[in-house]
Amino acid sequence: MSGRRSRTRHALNAAADSRSRSVAPYALSAAADDRRRSLARAAALRSLASTLPPGFDPSLLPSCTWPPSQSTRDSSVRILLQKLVGPSLYCQHYGAVPEPEARRAAAAIEAESFAAASEYASGATLASHKERFAVYQMYLKGSCVRLLGFFKSRAAALGGMLEPGNSSAPALLLAASASEE
- 159 and 99 share a domain? yes
- 37 and 89 share a domain? no
> C-alpha angle with apex 61: 59 to 54, nearest 5 degrees?
70
pLDDT value of position 128? 82
Residues 6+ apart with CB under 8 A from 160: 172, 175, 176, 179
Q: Of the residues 51, 69, 88, which one is the last residue of a structural domain?
A: 51
pLDDT value of position 170? 43
- 40 and 72 share a domain? no
- 16 and 94 share a domain? no
CATH code for position 76: 1.10.246.200
- 100 and 158 share a domain? yes
**170 vs 51: CA distance, rounded Å:** 59
- 86 and 154 share a domain? yes
- 91 and 44 share a domain? no
Q: State which residues form the domain around 45.
A: 2-51
Each residue's pLDDT tens digit in the chain (181 positions)? 555 555 555 555 555 555 555 556 555 676 677 777 778 877 776 776 666 666 666 555 555 678 888 999 999 999 999 999 988 899 888 889 999 999 999 999 999 999 999 998 888 787 788 888 889 999 999 999 999 999 999 989 888 655 444 444 444 433 443 444 4
- 104 and 167 share a domain? yes
Domain count, the chain: 2
pLDDT value of position 14? 56
- 27 and 87 share a domain? no
- Smallest Cα–Cα separation from 63: which of 142, 130, 145? 130
Neighbouring CB atoms inside 10 A of 176's CB total 13
Global pTM reads 0.55
pLDDT value of position 8? 56
